[in-house]
């Protein structure tokens, strides 16, 4: 009998990746289907839910081309988080576009709700700061303002779900479900009990009967249906948020092990012993739940890869060319704080502005490119240092994501933190993590065998001393202070006749 395979779907912001993993943990096949996004108004970011589903279908078909679908023992699903969509409970048809995690249309609602009492309630119950990034305010906006969904949400005809819920709903007309780690990012879940919180639902005006049922990361989930060429009835045995799945793939199963995923933004995450006493600049989240919930501390950065793309555009070159130019330059004082839509962790300052400071007539394009690279590593260092207040000093940092392919960027990160970087050699790490969990459920391996799986990675050691790091950090922290006090410098919108 042929050895079993595990099919893992990683549905992300820019596209869907699918891999086939074998019993050794190696990737036997891979496929990718890109998706787009639209910006109908400033600050709005939308995606087409049908296009997302079709990208999954294309990527699954491409990955299985030349492989026997009967060998697939189980399916795992990792997804972008916080993005939401509403669909008709009876027909399955989408009622709204996907409102992306990047979307800021609910900022006015956020400001209207904001008070010390409300922020305290939201933080205490959900573990998250009150911010438009999370799903609750997006759901509130849909209920109030979307003509195709508001009435259906009120009557219970509509389901409001995250991307994992939406994709699972395409497989079955049964009761909709949401995986607990994704649910913990909605700001509607009581993370301590793992259930929808009545006070948060009332605060944001989201009826509970419009929400999916919360289940563990191992389900139960609907089986595959209509996802060719997979056989109908193939079990879905694992679902996780993409960042959670990357942590799982690193094998970072113990508190004190921290990973950083570099993408458009970045997620820095590590498991913690207890869910209380967390630094206010961090989010409390549920990494996954197999038996008991695995709690994690997380810091979310809004613009890392986005900062590199922005600077590349300013300099009129590709991101690769810009990063190579910056890597060859020395730091001469120019500092970029990419607060284009405010700052995320550990500041959570939506009023912060983007600044480029410490310029002179001698500042070159190479120094500007260097400043963009430094903006990435400083933001990651900000969050790692705060996580260390809970977990203790991190001597190792596990990294993944597209920008980590840049050797200079990773060396700068190791130097700035003074820790060893373990860079994953697997570009599909989020898919691999959920394949690992699905393999547990399918009996392809047990915990001991899973821990022993090879995890190809490269080690990057720090090369600079504490004095150099301290100087760089002091320049960065001064620039952050200016960005956070920069609201008075924010230019008003110009009106045209």
* Each residue's pLDDT tens digit, 225-246: 999 999 999 999 999 999 999 9
Phi and psi torsions of 397, nearest 5°: -130, 125
Distance between CA atoms of 59 and 431, rounded to whole angstroms?
12
Provide the pairing of β-strand 177-179 with 213-215.
Answer: parallel
Residue 300's SS3 state is: strand
Q: Which residues contact 393 (CB under 8 A, 6 or more apart)?
A: none
* Dist. CA 47–CA 84, nearest whole Å: 10
- Would residue 106 be called left, alpha or beta, if left means φ above 0 and alpha means ψ between -120 and 50 degrees? alpha
Q: Look at residues 183, 401, 389 and name the one whose alpha carbon lies nearest to residue 301.
A: 401
- As given in the structure block, the two tokens for residue 396 are 């190792």
Return the bridge partners of 335, or none.
357
Cβ neighbours for 74, distance < 8 A, ≥ 6 positions apart? 6, 7, 234, 235, 236, 237, 238, 438, 439, 441, 442, 444
Helices (H), 127-228: 135-145, 150-155, 163-169, 180-183, 198-204
User: Contact, 132 vs 302, CB < 8 A?
Assistant: no
**DSSP label at 308?**
H
Considering the entire predicted model, what is its pTM?
0.88
User: What pLDDT, on the 0 to 100 scale, is given for residue 455?
Assistant: 86
Q: How far apart are CA 1 and CA 390, in angstroms?
A: 49
Provide CB contacts within 8 A for 81, sequence distance 6+: 101, 162, 163, 182, 185, 241, 242, 243
pLDDT, position 276? 78
Q: Report pLDDT digits (tens) over 192-203.
A: 999 999 999 999
Residue 467: per-residue pLDDT? 58
Rounded-to-integer distance, Cα 363 and Cα 373, Å: 16
Q: pLDDT tens-digit profile of 290-342?
A: 999 999 999 989 888 889 999 999 999 998 899 889 888 887 788 999 998 88
Tokens representing 470 are 């301290």
> What pLDDT is stored for residue 230 in this prediction?
94
The answer to whether residues 60 and 227 touch, using CB atoms and an 8 Å cutoff, is: yes
> CA distances (Å), 288 to each of 174, 203, 216, 256, 277, in order?
23, 26, 8, 17, 20
At 493 the pLDDT is: 43
Are the C-beta atoms of residues 200 and 147 closer than 8 Å to each other? no
| pLDDT-above-90 percentage for the chain | 61
Task: Specify the DSSP class assigned to residue 408.
Answer: H
Cβ-count burial of 187 within 10 angstroms (0-12 exposed, 13-18 middle, 19+ buried)? Answer: buried
Task: Give counts: helices (H), strands (E), the chain.
Answer: 16, 22
Is 262 within 8 Å of 308 (Cβ atoms)?
no
CB 68 within 8 Å of CB 232: no
Ranges in the chain, pLDDT < 70: 1, 392-394, 464-468, 486-497
Assigned token pair, 72 = 């697939």
372: closest CA among 412, 342, 401, 402? 412
**By the 8 A CB rule, do 77 and 234 touch?**
no
Distances (CA, A) of 159 to 84, 133, 135, 167, 173: 10, 20, 13, 13, 12
Which pLDDT score, from 0 to 100, does residue 491 have?
45
* CA–CA gap between residue 222 and residue 170 (Å, rounded): 10
Interior CA angle at 428 toward 343 and 302, to 5°?
A: 5
Q: pLDDT for 439-488, tens place per residue?
A: 999 999 999 999 999 888 899 888 866 656 777 788 888 899 999 986 54
Please tell me the distance from the alpha carbon of residue 285 to that of residue 360, in angstroms, as a whole number. Answer: 43
pLDDT for 201 equals 97
Helix residue ranges per DSSP H, 399-457: 407-417, 429-442, 447-452
Q: 342: which residues sit within 8 A by CB, 6+ positions away?
A: 302, 349, 350, 351, 352
Taking CA atoms, 229 is separated from 75, 160, 165, 226, 295, in Å, by 13, 29, 22, 8, 36
Q: Which residue has the tokens 């391996």?
A: 445
Distance of CA 79 to the CA centre of its chain: 8
What is the DSSP secondary structure assignment for residue 342, as one 8-state letter? B
Q: Reduced to 3 states, what is the DSSP secondary structure of residue 33? A: strand
């Amino acid at each position: 009998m042929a050895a079993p395979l595990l099919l893992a779907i990683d549905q992300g912001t820019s596209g869907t990746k699918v891999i086939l993993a074998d019993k050794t943990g190696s990737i036997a096949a891979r496929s990718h289907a890109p998706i787009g996004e639209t910006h109908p108004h400033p600050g709005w970011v939308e995606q087409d839910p049908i296009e997302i589903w079709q990208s999954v279908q294309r990527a699954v078909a491409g990955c299985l081309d030349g492989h026997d679908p009967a060998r697939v023992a189980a399916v795992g699903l990792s997804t972008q988080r916080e993005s939401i969509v509403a669909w008709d409970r009876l027909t399955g048809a989408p009622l709204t576009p996907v409102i992306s995690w990047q979307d800021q249309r609910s900022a006015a609602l956020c400001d209207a709700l904001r008070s010390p009492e409300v922020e305290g309630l939201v933080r205490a119950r959900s573990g998250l700061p009150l911010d438009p990034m999370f799903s609750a305010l997006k759901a509130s906006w849909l209920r109030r303002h979307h003509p195709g969904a508001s009435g259906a949400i009120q009557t219970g005809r509509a389901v409001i779900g995250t991307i994992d819920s939406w994709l699972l709903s395409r497989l079955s007309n049964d009761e909709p479900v949401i995986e607990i780690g994704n649910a913990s990012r909605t700001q509607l879940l009581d993370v301590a009990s793992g259930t929808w919180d009545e006070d948060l639902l009332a605060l944001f005006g989201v009826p509970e009967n419009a929400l999916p049922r919360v289940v563990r990361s191992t389900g139960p989930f609907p089986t595959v249906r209509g996802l060719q060429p997979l056989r109908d009835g193939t079990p879905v045995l694992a679902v996780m948020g993409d960042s959670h799945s990357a942590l799982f793939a690193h094998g970072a199963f113990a508190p004190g092990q921290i990973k950083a995923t570099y993408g458009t933004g970045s997620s820095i995450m590590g498991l913690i012993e207890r869910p209380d006493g967390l630094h206010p600049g961090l989010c409390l989240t549920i990494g996954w739940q197999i038996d008991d919930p695995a709690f994690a501390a997380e810091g979310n950065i809004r613009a890392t890869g986005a900062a590199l793309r922005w600077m590349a555009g300013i300099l009129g070159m590709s991101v690769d060319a810009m990063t190579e130019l910056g890597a060859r330059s020395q730091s001469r004082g120019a500092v970029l704080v990419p607060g284009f839509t405010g700052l995320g962790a550990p500041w959570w300052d939506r009023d912060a502005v983007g600044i480029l400071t410490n310029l002179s007539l001698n500042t070159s394009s190479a120094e500007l490119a260097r400043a963009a690279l430094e903006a990435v590593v400083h933001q990651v260092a900000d969050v790692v240092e705060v996580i260390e207040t809970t977990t203790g000093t991190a001597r190792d940092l596990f990294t993944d994501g597209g920008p980590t392919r840049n050797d200079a960027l990773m060396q700068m990160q190791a130097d700035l933190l003074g820790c060893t970087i373990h860079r994953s050699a697997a570009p599909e790490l989020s898919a691999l993590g959920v394949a690992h969990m699905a393999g547990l459920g399918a009996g392809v391996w047990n915990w001991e065998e899973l821990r022993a799986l090879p995890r190809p990675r490269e080690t990057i050691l720090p090369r600079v001393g504490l004095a150099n790091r301290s100087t760089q950090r002091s320049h960065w922290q001064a620039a952050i202070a200016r960005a956070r006090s920069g609201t008075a410098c924010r230019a008003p919108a110009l009106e045209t006749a």
